[in-house]
Structure 1
């Protein structure tokens, strides 16, 4: 009951008051048990307006950012969506309720195992998860109606553009290691329309086509 109250407060104060209007996104955020995606010691903070550590130098994004990225995809329910950076699994779980199938990529095996356990507990059977360098996307399953990247990139990897379906949307933070701009890129045939949604700060996108930093 306490988590249910916390979720409603989160939606009312953090989402609705800051421009989240998609009724499907709001409903999923009201129902999704975010506290299951963080360790027990942090569950009391799961619905707070800030990121939380999940281990391996990674974080679970603040609820507003998850809702913003989900809303920006403009999903109707029958799409196939690629997520880069499974992390805790929370963003993928939200997307799983908004589209037909989610393909999510994580480079850290332990995080992937933890996320899969929660997916199974919640019976989210429309999520495919793979451990690999996420900067390559998931070519065998392309094209995707939506791609969401949950780590900050120095620029937009061409692989993501190539794996985007015509009319599809790519949501990606782009910038330096300190701050990024959240971009929405829409494919129109061979052309790509880009708009900036808001300033943000994510962990770095590591990999062959991302940042190269010492572990």
Structure 2
């Protein structure tokens, strides 16, 4: 495979048409090597417009979804980021290039270890990976400037909303199959939040989060 041609095509044919027009983001996608974060069995799919399977029944998000979230979070160099769901470490690597520091938490020990290894191999030094259930946030290091949630939630719990600073942003996928909404939630004051819906999607539910009962009596 011609990796650079495949990467160029991913950016130009999948990501740019999805309203990802920030040149810094497009340049970053050429710098952070996605193929370094894809499981070996799926290496040929590194640049394909699809979710890629990870251990534990989890998935890497499609490239255009990652890029759009990264653009709309508008992370700045002085900011502290919490990522809920480390996955392969790829999103943490992208966030780390924009932020001062990223704390990435995964409930699965094998994914936390995978993310650590991939980030070290890629030379990313401003990410710490922790293992645990951050479905209600990670209070030990709160508050954060940015929280990026990489699995779907029925709704964003108050505990996560409270852990972002005023002026801070949360990226979340909210709802249930078959249709979920990608959202950016901005804390505009101590008690007010502004929500912007970005696009409809359907992604894997966040492990460890309470899911609504399907049964009604």
Whole-angstrom CA distance in 2 between matches of 1:18 and 1:204: 23
Is the 1:152–1:177 Cα contact (8 Å) retained in structure 2?
no
Whole-angstrom CA distance in 2 between matches of 1:24 and 1:166: 25
Unaligned regions of 5+ residues in structure 1, if any?
Answer: none
Normalising by the residue count of structure 2, what TM-score does the alignment of the two structures yield? Answer: 0.93
Unaligned regions of 5+ residues in structure 2, if any?
Answer: none
Aligned-residue offset at 1:212: 7.5
Whole-angstrom CA distance in 2 between matches of 1:11 and 1:100: 25
Structure 1 residues 19, 33: CA separation in 2 closer, same or farther (over 3 Å shift)?
Answer: same
Q: What is the match of residue 194 of structure 1? A: 195
Normalising by the residue count of structure 1, what TM-score does the alignment of the two structures yield? Answer: 0.94
Aligned-residue offset at 1:94: 0.7
Is the 2:55–2:110 Cα contact (8 Å) retained in structure 1?
no
Q: Which moved more, 1:82-91 or 1:33-42?
A: 33-42
Query: Which consecutive segments of 4 or more residues in structure 1 shift more than 6 A?
Result: none
Q: What is the match of residue 38 of structure 2? A: 38
Whole-angstrom CA distance in 1 between matches of 2:177 and 2:104: 23
Mapping of residues 121-132 of structure 1, within 5 Å:
121-132=121-132
Matching of residue 111 in structure 1 with residue 111 in structure 2: yes
Q: What is the match of residue 204 of structure 1? A: 205
Matched length: 212
Report the aligned-residue RMSD: 1.5
Whole-angstrom CA distance in 2 between matches of 1:166 and 1:144: 9
Structure 1 residues 177, 17: CA separation in 2 closer, same or farther (over 3 Å shift)?
Answer: closer
Aligned-residue offset at 1:70: 0.6
Is the 1:37–1:90 Cα contact (8 Å) retained in structure 2?
yes
